[in-house]
Structures are given as structure tokens and as C-alpha cells.
Structure 1
């Protein structure tokens, strides 16, 4: 069973996933990075460009999903270096520190809260997120064109691309496409007709929505909505 709640870390979400069976799991791209806890290990989930599919995963997972663009500053790795990957935190941080944190989470009465505490402590030790990155997310999630977003932020197209690559793992056009997918899924899950979902989410038409969902999620929209989506790392 998948559950989530807002984190005490601004903009983040804390989640747990305890699969009831060993079937296929599917995590859709959302522009985020996660700090994960699984079987005594700390891992980092990089930003996905396509659905991340798990097969036969029966162990429990917990995670802190950071607001888009904030993960690299907290985890100390450019997003594009872990794009479409799940890596051990020990590959990114000193092994002694990671072992200490693993022992702390393992010994906690509530490992999920302990994992959140790790994220909060890290946030307190590093620089605050660049506010420009949140403005990028806000503009693109509102459907603003990439060129207009760059102009409004006082950034050239190339500089915006470089900033996005480091912060989100891909360029602004891909980020905009992924945010549009998430808008569409929220509407469709809420019962909005697919044709209306396409218009309201910013697609040219329903066929455009269908193609994009199939490419990014790996399933047709109707089939996707018939399954529980998201959560498993």
C-alpha cells in the first residue's frame, strides 16, 4: 500500500510503499529527486524521463520526495548525473557518514520520520534553494512557453537550459512536458473527460495527450488510470 503526506521540509513529500503483491510497479516522471530507504540502505532516485518500472519488488520502501529542482542542492549531485538511475547514497557521500545515517534510521522507532529528519538536517546544513528554480517550475507548470520563461527570468535560452539540466536533470522543454503530464493525470484521476483533460492541461488535442502519456508512462491513459500509479521507487 502506498501512502504519502506533506513533509516538514518545505515543498517535499514523505511517502511509504508496502507492496501487497509482487506485481509490476510503475513510477511516472515528475521532475523530482527522492532520498530512499529500503532494507537498511539509503539510496537516491534521480529524475526520470520515462516511467520507472519495477518487477517483483516485495520489500517496503520509504522516501522523501524533494520539490523539483531542490534535490541536487540537498544531495550534493547535479540532477543529470543521476537521471533515470537509483544509486546508493554511499556512492555520493562519504561512506562513514552514510553508515552513521543508516544506523540512525535503522534504530529509530519510526524509520520514516527518521529519514525525514535526515533530510531536514541536510537542508539546514546547505544553502537555501535558488528561488529562480521555483519560478521556473511555476512558469512552466502554468503552461508558459520556454522562451517566454527565459525572458521573464532574465536568462538566455542556453543559460536556462544549463540551469535546468543541473537542477532537474533535463532541459526546460522536457521539464514542461513532464509537468504537463502530471497536470493531465491529476485532472483525469479527478474524473475529467479525456478530451477536456487534454485542453485544460495544455495539449493540442486528445490524440496529443494519448501519444504523450503512452511515451512517458508506457501505457495508454485508460489503462494507466485503471492501476495505482506512483510511489514505488
Structure 2
């Protein structure tokens, strides 16, 4: 049986969950740093911090402050673009050289290459196509984890660079949320061959199509429709 995405819409969102009593939500518009916000709100094991800021720090500053708590860790960074953040990319590369970040995987949008091809090529040369997937994405998040049991998810409205606008930053040491996000990252990496997303829009579209196809199949099974042999995706 053939299903069209316009008829049966795939839902690959995270599962709902109860609001945690270990969450702190704050507004900080007086020049606070990422490190000071995490400290004053007691970030740590099993803790979650949500903040609205005035753009006084970048997503890389946020990750940097989180690694002070976590210690050496592996990372995933998803961002719409890294084009305006050469200095921030320098910092990430330095973290890897210092074993602050033990490994780093990236998810970026196809438009990154279209808008800034020279910077995108330098980005690929630094981190390697094996560590990068290109998708139709506007999501900005990071995953940080290590063998000591840290499983941190960081969600932001910001790209890597600092931007003098109201921005949203979040961090949670939450194994369940981490597992769901990590599974999605694994699906994206499995859906695309090395470098293919940089070569064409069709290659970049593979990741989102794979997520939708998986969600449609799971939904069909859940609702007793049966496993779909083919899914039409636009």
C-alpha cells in the first residue's frame, strides 16, 4: 500500500513528559555569562536550567560552560549555520586538541554551503565529512556525554555565534531525553553517505525524509494499518 505524506503526516517529535521539580527558569539581561547563570541556578546532576538572555554569550560559550561541569566528553552540535562563527569554530577545534571534547559530530543545514562555500569547505577540512551530516534543518541543539554518566541535552534558539538579540538557552542532565535525541542523530547519520549532503539538495533531503519515513512506518504499525512498503515524501 502507498501512503502520501499529505494524507498521513509523520510525527517524529519527542514524547511528552511531566514538568520536573528540578528545573530552574530565569531571565538574565544584565550581561551575565553562561558560566554564572549555570552556577547561580545550581546546574548539576539531574538538573535543568532554562534561560532567556539578551545575547550576551553564544552557544559555544554555553557549551564551554557546560563542559566545566561534565569534564572531558563527546559532543554533537546541530546548528543552522556555522558561517559567521570562525572564532567559535576555532574554539571547538581547540577543545578537541585539548581533549576537552573527545569527539564531535555535526548536523548543519544545506544552505550553509550555498551561502558561504569557502567557509563551509574550511569547516569540512577541519572536522571531516565522517563527522558531518547535512540536512534540511533549522534545529539548534547539542548533546554532551561521557563515561562518568553525564547525559546533557542543550537546546538553544541561537546559532554558534554571539548575537545581540533575545535568545533562549536550555541545559538538562536527562538520560531519557538524551537517548531520544541521540537516536534521532544516529538515524540522520545512517541515512546519508559521507559528503552526499554537500553535493546536492537531494542528498541533503535524505535525512529529513528518513526521519519521516521511519515515523510513518511506526505510526502505521501503532494504528494497525500495517507496515508500509513504500512512502511518498516530498
TM-score range, shorter chain: under 0.3
Q: Hey, which of these two has a bigger chunk of strand by percent?
A: 2
User: What TM-score comes out, normalization by structure 2 length?
Assistant: 0.25
User: What TM-score comes out, normalization by structure 1 length?
Assistant: 0.25
Q: Hey, which of these two has a bigger chunk of helix by percent?
A: 1
